[in-house]
Amino acid sequence: MRQIFMGVGILAGLVACSPNTGSPTGHVWTTLNGEAPLVIAHRGASGERPEHTIEAYTLAIEQGADVIEPDLVMTADGVLVVRHDHYLSTTTDVADHPEFADRRRLQGEQSDWWVEDFTLAELRTLRARQPWAQRDASFNDRFLIPTFEEVLDLATAHNVRTEPEVKAPGHFVSVGLDPLPELVRILRERRLDTADAPTAIQCFEPDFLARLNAEIDTQLLMLVFPMQELDPEADPRQPTVSLTDMAAFADGVGPSKALVITAEGEDTGFIARAHELGLAVHPWTFRDDVPVADGVTIEDELRRIYALGVDGVFTDFPATAVRVRDAMGDE
């Protein structure tokens, strides 16, 4: 399935169905395909609405996001639903439901309610909450947990791309809930199993992406972070999976922004190395409400990362990323 992620030929066929990408301007972008970088709504417009809700995705689309990102976990009855974590205490009102009090259990060192212990019907009785203390909580306890297919329906209705991330597939396999067959079924039924489909699948686990690569031609994005987070002795610029290794099965890379740019804006050379291998680069996560460095604003950081040639950015605040990108495009 190895093809260049979001390559010129593929993207050319998608621009018509993605109105947010924008028309060519005098600005010269140094992305892999020469187009303006994509703005990817990380968990939807999660800085302003409870994450991974239809309402968060809808707001992101209204703000001009090119891509919406649903994280996928699996219910007890084998349904792919959209949550970042497979525990439920921080992003739902599950603790307020006495009927589920006995579902709380210890897993590893954490006592919580776990999505794999709930059916879809049970999850539908919960409501989403904003997990970030500094963000607007006025929308708490109002929105449902959507299924993956509902998010795909929304994306289709609005002609935007999706970049689903499969969360902890190894864990779900270990409890008898392999997400791969259901993911493949959904993609095939919707004709999203081709290299030119308006979607790309992400994961932190290379084995899962390699398995998926053998099943479908959908674009794949390998997520990585600095190896130093696992091994303090490692080079801080070394990713958890090497670029050369991922190039055998992936079409792009989603690195922690720490691998791509320093807090002061120094280029690490990661983008250039990835581009040499035909890998697009979609770093994460750009947030308006998380300090970058002394004297560095989120606008400064976005302008710098765009100038370095990233092919897309994951952001909790799509409106800001769109505004900065479009301003650069007009220069």
pLDDT tens sequence across 119-171: 999 999 999 999 999 999 999 999 999 999 999 999 999 999 999 999 999 99
Q: Is residue 84 annotated as a catalytic residue, yes or no? A: yes
* Contact present, 35 and 18 (Cβ < 8 Å): no
Q: Give this prediction's pTM.
A: 0.93
Residue of 42, 86, 158, 282 marked catalytic = 42
Choices 3.30.300.30, 3.30.1490.190, 1.10.10.10, 3.20.20.190: CATH for 8-86+144-329? 3.20.20.190
* Contact present, 192 and 155 (Cβ < 8 Å): no
Encoded tokens for 216: 């479908």
Residue of 27, 52, 84, 158 marked catalytic = 84
The H-assigned helical ranges of the chain are 8-14, 54-62, 120-123, 148-158, 169-174, 179-189, 206-213, 243-246, 270-276, 298-307, 318-329
Domain ranges of the chain: 8-86+144-329
- For residue 16, pLDDT over 60 is answered with no
Q: What is the pLDDT of residues 263-306, one digit of tens each?
A: 888 999 999 999 999 999 999 999 999 988 888 999 999 999 99
* Contact present, 178 and 236 (Cβ < 8 Å): no
CA angle 44, 315, 192 (to 5 degrees): 55
Tell me the pLDDT band of 26, cut-offs 50, 70 and 90. confident
- For residue 3, pLDDT over 90 is answered with no
Q: Is residue 27 annotated as a catalytic residue, yes or no? A: no
